[in-house]
A and B are shown apart, each in its own frame.
Chain A
Amino acid sequence: MSVLVYIESDQGKFKKSALEVASYGKAVADQLGTSVTAVTFNANDASELGKYGVEKVLNVSTANGFDAKVYADAIKQAATAEGSKVVVLSSTSDSTYLAPLLAIGLDAGYASNVVALPTSTSPFVVKRTAFTNKAFTYTEISTDVKVVAVSNNSFGLVESSGNAIMESFSPTLSSSNVKVESVDKAADKVSIADADIVVSGGRGLKGPENWGMIEELAEVLGAATACSKPVSDLGWRPHSEHVGQTGKPVASNLYIAIGISGAIQHLAGINASKVKVVINTDPEAPFFKAADYGVVGDAFEVVPTLIEKLKEFKAQNA
């Protein structure tokens, strides 16, 4: 009956989004009067999960890396073994890849982009974003087993006391017909999905040659870099940086928009960010209506000053 949480790791470390999933799972388990079991792959040490309320960890050893079908099948077997009625995942690319497969495997209703604890557990109703952050919907899941994907940075990390006991779990691993040939991932860069802070540039920056200061600002803040749709359409920056309704969603703690006017599609995509800062020469830019803090000024003057002030701030708070 325990709540099952799927815990992802990256290079041997549990992802922050996975710890958020554990925190969420613990809170749901408290609502239901049960405990939390985690399922994870190739973990060495599970003690960190205890801090976020996980009591038992089912560790699956595989020689191969992530495969949506194989992982979905293994998680399904863990859910069945635990008799779990609620399975919680994160909103990473891998979790949202396997979630629909898992939902079909478990005959479970699935709700993605969930931003808060169930408002009721019987019927089971969760709040999720819809219309690309222009609205929320309260979604009732009417199946016996429920699969829920929690939006990154929506619930936060909640520590509790406890110890996680790791057990090895050996599901029957299915075969897959999707074989990874190559991975192209910048190891030293923060991804938009994982970032606490995102620094984003728009057409106001006038050309790709001016992105040095955006990258420097991102580096000072430990942030990911992003861009508006026109910038990616013009080929100034790669598509992977395009954020907005048809690009990537952003749900960071801090979003800094530089030279971005704030078209409705862009604002929808970044609306889940907690604090928004806009730097733009045009005081009439729609972004000022959506932002928490704004600077009406020339990015080419404001950004270098901001970098300097942040460096001073970091030196003082180091």
Chain B
Amino acid sequence: MKILVCISHVPDTTSKINFTDGDTKFDTNGVQFVINPNDEFGLTRAMWFKEKQGASVAVANVGGPETEPTLRKALAIGADEAIRINADAKDGFAVAKELANVIKERGFDLVIAGRESIDYNGGMVPGMIAALTDANFVNKCIGLEIDGTNAKAVREIDGGKETVSTSLPLVVGGQKGLVEESDLRIPNMRGIMMARQKPLTVVESAGANAETTSVKFEKPAPKGAVTLVSPDNIGELVNLLHNEAKVI
């Protein structure tokens, strides 16, 4: 089984978000970049398929040379090879189209991409890849078993979950639940050393166009001070929620 894990290069979850150039650009100054958490759950599940079922695992990212350390980290975690598609990640559609081109060219049985990146939160790349490559698709996947060409997946639905059966080729939108938080791997020294020897191929962009553009960013308005209520006067909290906030 050939698996591709799509890796988005995103600001660490603790990052403070700021903008420059008249609020038109994300300020990367002082920001630490990591593998998108939703992708990391997928990568860790892929490692399981590699170790238990002999799958090969490639990782791919659409971005400039500055994203290579993130791909190297995925290699250090255990992926066999990395592909960097040398293009700006202009929008979700362009990213999906670039990835779909590589998938069609190289042929993967299973593609795992995070259900959304934690920067733009578009939530469209996995579904668009599935549509562009004519593969089956399960979004918000929280459990995945593969047997031959058959797949059993668990999908999160609002208020519960749903188990589905499908077949390869398959694209899943991954998230926590594919593996547990405690299953995530921190690359060890041996993994880091081995990652240096593994192939990282740069593929030229297919020139995918964007369909959307972020024209301006805005930070949420600063919050007013909290209204403190004494623990001896909880009736007042009920009163405020009813009369002032009007939420109960």
* CB proximity of B92 to chain A, nearest CB, Å: 7
B157 surroundings in chain A (CB, below 8 A): 93-94, 183, 185
Once the chains are docked, how many angstroms separate the CA of A178 from the CA of B241?
A: 45
Specify which of B211, B229, B245 lies most central, judged by the most chain A CB atoms within 10 Å of its CB: B211
* CB proximity of B178 to chain A, nearest CB, Å: 11
Does A277 count as interface, using CB distance less than 8 angstroms? yes
Sample of 19 further A-B pairs with CB below 8 A, known A178-B164, A191-B158: A68-B139, A101-B130, A105-B131, A109-B93, A137-B120, A137-B214, A138-B218, A139-B215, A142-B213, A183-B161, A186-B159, A186-B160, A190-B159, A196-B247, A240-B156, A245-B118, A246-B38, A292-B227, A295-B230
**0/1 string, B199-237, CB within 8 A of A gives 1:** 000000000001111111111100110111111001101
Does B167 count as interface, using CB distance less than 8 angstroms? yes
Task: Enumerate 21 A-B pairs (CB-CB under 8 Å) in ascending A order.
Answer: A99-B124, A103-B124, A125-B215, A131-B119, A139-B212, A221-B248, A239-B142, A246-B13, A265-B13, A271-B220, A289-B223, A292-B223, A292-B226, A292-B227, A294-B227, A294-B228, A295-B228, A295-B230, A297-B230, A297-B231, A317-B242
B13 surroundings in chain A (CB, below 8 A): 245-246, 264-265, 268
Does A141 count as interface, using CB distance less than 8 angstroms? yes
B137 surroundings in chain A (CB, below 8 A): 68-69, 101, 178
Does B32 count as interface, using CB distance less than 8 angstroms? no
Complex interface residues of chain B between 117 and 153 (CB less than 8 A to chain A):
118-128, 130-132, 136-140, 142, 152
Once the chains are docked, how many angstroms separate the CA of A296 from the CA of B227?
A: 11
B139 surroundings in chain A (CB, below 8 A): 68, 93, 96-97
- Label chain B's interface by main secondary structure: mixed
B180 surroundings in chain A (CB, below 8 A): 233
In the complex, which residue of chain A has the Cβ closest to the Cβ of B125?
A: A100
* CB proximity of B203 to chain A, nearest CB, Å: 22
Binding site for A on B (CB under 8 A): 11, 13-14, 17, 19, 37-38, 91-93, 96, 118-128, 130-132, 136-140, 142, 152, 155-167, 175-177, 180-182, 210-220, 223-224, 226-231, 234-235, 237-238, 240-242, 245, 247-248
B130 surroundings in chain A (CB, below 8 A): 100-101
B11 surroundings in chain A (CB, below 8 A): 131
Interface pair A181/B163, CB less than 8 Å apart? yes
- Considering the complex of A and B, which 7 residue pairs feature the smallest CB-CB distances, nearest first? A100-B127, A191-B159, A297-B231, A185-B160, A109-B211, A104-B131, A254-B247
Choose among A130, A140, A143 the residue that contacts B120 (Cβ–Cβ < 8 A): A130
Once the chains are docked, how many angstroms separate the CA of A113 from the CA of B119?
A: 13
Choose among A178, A245, A264 the residue that contacts B136 (Cβ–Cβ < 8 A): A178
Once the chains are docked, how many angstroms separate the CA of A189 from the CA of B92?
A: 34
Binding site for B on A (CB under 8 A): 68-69, 92-94, 96-101, 103-105, 108-113, 125, 127, 129-143, 177-186, 189-194, 196-197, 221, 229, 233, 239-240, 242, 245-247, 253-254, 264-265, 268, 271, 274-275, 277-278, 288-298, 301-302, 305-306, 309-310, 312-313, 317
